Amino acid sequence: MIILGIDPGSRFLGFAAIQVVADSRMKPLEYGVLKFDSGENLSNRLLEIGSGIRDLMASYKPDHVSLEKIFLGKNADSAFN
């Protein structure tokens, strides 16, 4: 079984792909950060984010996906910048 974990962000998107092997042990396949140009408008970045996630899904063909909930601190607007 392969699990893809995603930590979303509009400038940086973290990801990890892991494989569950015998005895429920986990083996990391890959992890990293997709980086997006903060100078681009949000709609273009969202398009790039969608393309990046589509590529991750095609590469790993996960059985499950875990998506971290967006945390809005004191300024909700900063979550989308």
- Cα angle 53-66-39, degrees, rounded to a multiple of 5: 40
22 within some domain: yes
CA atoms of 47 and 70, how far apart (whole Å) = 18
Give the separation between CA 11 and CA 69, rounded to whole angstroms.
16
Domain that holds residue 38: 2-68
- Confidence band for 10, pLDDT divided at 50, 70 and 90: confident
Domain membership flag for residue 73: no
Task: Convert the pLDDT of each residue in 24-77 to its tens digit.
Answer: 899 999 999 999 998 999 899 999 999 999 999 999 999 999 999 876 666 555
Distance (Å, whole) CA 16 – CA 5? 5
Supply the CATH number for residue 57's domain.
Answer: 3.30.420.10
Q: Is residue 64 part of a domain?
A: yes
Structural domain tally of the chain?
1
76 in a domain, yes or no? no
Residue at 77 is within a domain? no
Helix (H) or strand (E) holding 80: none
pTM score: 0.80
